[in-house]
A and B are shown apart, each in its own frame.
Chain A
Amino acid sequence: MNRPFKPYPFTAKQHPASLPPLQGGVDQARHPVVVVGGGPVGYCAALGLASHGVPVVLLEADDSVCFGSRAICISRRSLEIISRLGAADGFLKQGLPWTGGRSFYRDDEVLHFRMPMDENQKHPPMINLAQYSIEQLLLDAAEQRSDLVEVRWQNRVTAIDAREDGTRLTIDTPAGAYTMESDWVVAADGGRSFLRETLGLKLKGTSYEGRYVIVDIVLDSARPAERLAYFDPPCNPGSTVLVHKQPGGVWRVDYQLRDGEDPDEAIKPENVMPRVESLLGMMGETGAWSPVWIGIYKANALTLDDYRHRRVLFAGDAAHLLPIFGVRGANSGIDDADNLAWKLALVVKGIASTQLLDSYSAERVAAARENLSYGTKSTEFMAPPSFAFELMRKAVLGLAVKFPELRSLINPRQSSAIAYTGSPLNVAAQEAEFGAGPACGHVLTECPLTIVDGASTRAGHLTELIGPVITALYFTDDGVVPDELTSCGAAMRARGIPFAIVALARQAGAAKARGWDSSGRLFAMYDAAPGTLYLVRPDGHVFGRRRRFDAAALTEAIDHLLQP
């Protein structure tokens, strides 16, 4: 079967190499932050820092955004983060939202799951979008912030001297090598991170034996976007096949190689095409199709023990490798960047102590371990690591049609927001007084409300009111904020601490409120009465809540956040 490859419906722009002004081969400027790696995580870190007014140099070794089939699913939490970075419009316009999936065993549908989607949500649970589009949209946003974000293309780091008081990077470019000094480095240089390897830092965890062939095709089909998983399908007996629809008529097919199959043989087009053909036939897809890209994947469940190494902070795949089943790879990396950006910004500005960066590592390593346990669960089902898992899976799949109570075992446990419940940054003094609402460490529970913007109002959501600042969500009857709270806020800002009071009112007409509870659900959701105060970090996680505002407690909580 000789089926010619077609290109992706995307042309990556090639960027020329850029170098700074040099003297004796050295970058003239010493930079507060250098981000190494122009992938989704690097861009989110750079944009996050820029939102706090911190200038960033981003080094990308290649001359364009990525190529091939890599991350394709962006979760709701990631969309929330990307919204705060001002880049969500493109994602929502181009991405394909999906709300669930189906699993099949041989000829039967054994599971139909829906991801959490309720009337309170702003974003869909998941959108499918190819990584080259993800990177392009983030790059577009970075170019809008060229006042603070400088992207240097074709700059490849070849050496690093990581000291306690700063870092020297040696960079190779087509126009020659140079060195640069940086106060802080964000290592977002991917799964094969040069920085991680060269610093001798070891990933720990499990590498799975099972291999998946990944094929992107362009296919003429009107089928909707939902995750499809086929176990032991007639078209590929003994195998597991995943199908994801992407924008632009691109479909991704992942299928498991059986034990003993030679990976090098398996990815040859002449061996891939018939399997895809037979899958499409089984699915009833008769439209024209062409292959675009073939690769091979091996699941890993690995993390560094510490994401901080002197002045180098690891994020994304450079810090951890998660199995794709559960779609937490890119999404957890974006969450890393969001957690890191505000902390690093406040440290750079001299407002917070460097211990705050240790909390980045503690919180995100804990998150990685939690993501790993979910990813491991999914992997144990998708790529059974032993005869026992294989046998039990066969039993589950065979019984699932008649015994629905077994179906949850098939559920791939898709990505959901992580809570930093044990974080040292939390001030949990009044936790016991709340019967509902996001506890310390949790992200804000989304709720629709009416946003007040000067003289006009518009329909919106609570998370839109969180900016690159520490926020006090203050619940009121009428939007009026006590003088003591206002002065507290002014005192914070006088110290250079980015802080905002967001007053929320129960009813319309409260001119001083930023928003009012038009759905009637917000106050109950937060177990709030007038006077209730929630303290929220710039990354949208709650770090304290009180039934009544208290100036001393507020100041203490914020001081504790900044000097943990």
Chain B
Amino acid sequence: MTEAELDAAYTHLCKTMTELGEARAPLFLARFALLAMVRIGNVAVVQEMTDAAAADIAAEAAG
């Protein structure tokens, strides 16, 4: 993915989430995570991603 492509993908995701609204955002992101998991198709990579996503945010207030 080029930088421009990443940018386009990121923006599309943000706009889609905006349209769904804040209440549906967690479900949307959960679905995206699942689709990403099966698309990546590598258990070690997916587990690493899970750990990376969780790292450093335990101290955040929820929401």
Q: Which residues of A contact B (CB under 8 A)?
A: 377, 380, 385-389, 391-392, 396, 398-399, 402-403, 405, 408-409, 411
Contacts and interface: CB of A to CB of B under 8 A. Distances in A.
Contacts of B6: 405, 408-409
Interface of A is mostly: helix
The 3 closest A-B CB pairs, nearest first, are A388-B17, A408-B3, A386-B18
B6 to A, nearest CB: 6
Interface size, B (range): 10 to 19
Interface string B1-28: 0010011001101111110001001000
Contact of B14 (A392, A398, A405): A392
A380 B56 contact: no
Contact of A377 (B11, B22, B56, B57): B11
B14 A389 contact: yes
A399 B25 CA distance: 20
Contacts of A387: 18, 22, 25
Given A387-B22, A388-B25, A403-B52, A380 B14 contact: yes
Nearest to A395: B53
A409 B18 contact: no
A388 B10 contact: no
Interface in B38-62: 52-53, 55-57
Nearest to B16: A388
Nearest to B3: A408
A389 B18 contact: yes
Contacts of A380: 11, 14
A528 B14 CA distance: 45
B60 to A, nearest CB: 9
A392 B13 CA distance: 9
Interface of B: 3, 6-7, 10-11, 13-18, 22, 25, 52-53, 55-57
Given A387-B25, A388-B18, A409 B10 contact: yes
A398 B57 contact: yes
23 contacts: A380-B11, A386-B14, A386-B18, A388-B14, A388-B15, A388-B17, A388-B25, A389-B14, A389-B18, A391-B25, A392-B10, A392-B13, A392-B14, A392-B17, A398-B57, A399-B52, A402-B52, A402-B55, A403-B52, A405-B6, A408-B6, A408-B7, A409-B10
Contacts of A408: 3, 6-7
A409 B7 contact: yes
A402 B53 CA distance: 11
A377 B22 CA distance: 21
Given A399-B52, A402-B55, A411-B3, 17 more contacts: A377-B11, A380-B14, A386-B14, A387-B18, A387-B22, A388-B14, A388-B15, A388-B18, A388-B25, A389-B14, A389-B18, A391-B25, A396-B10, A398-B57, A399-B53, A403-B52, A408-B7
B10 A398 contact: no
A536 B47 CA distance: 56
Nearest to A389: B14
Contacts of B11: 377, 380
A388 B19 CA distance: 9
A386 B15 CA distance: 9
A388 B52 CA distance: 21
A377 B9 CA distance: 12
Nearest to B22: A387
A392 B53 CA distance: 12
Contacts of B22: 387-388
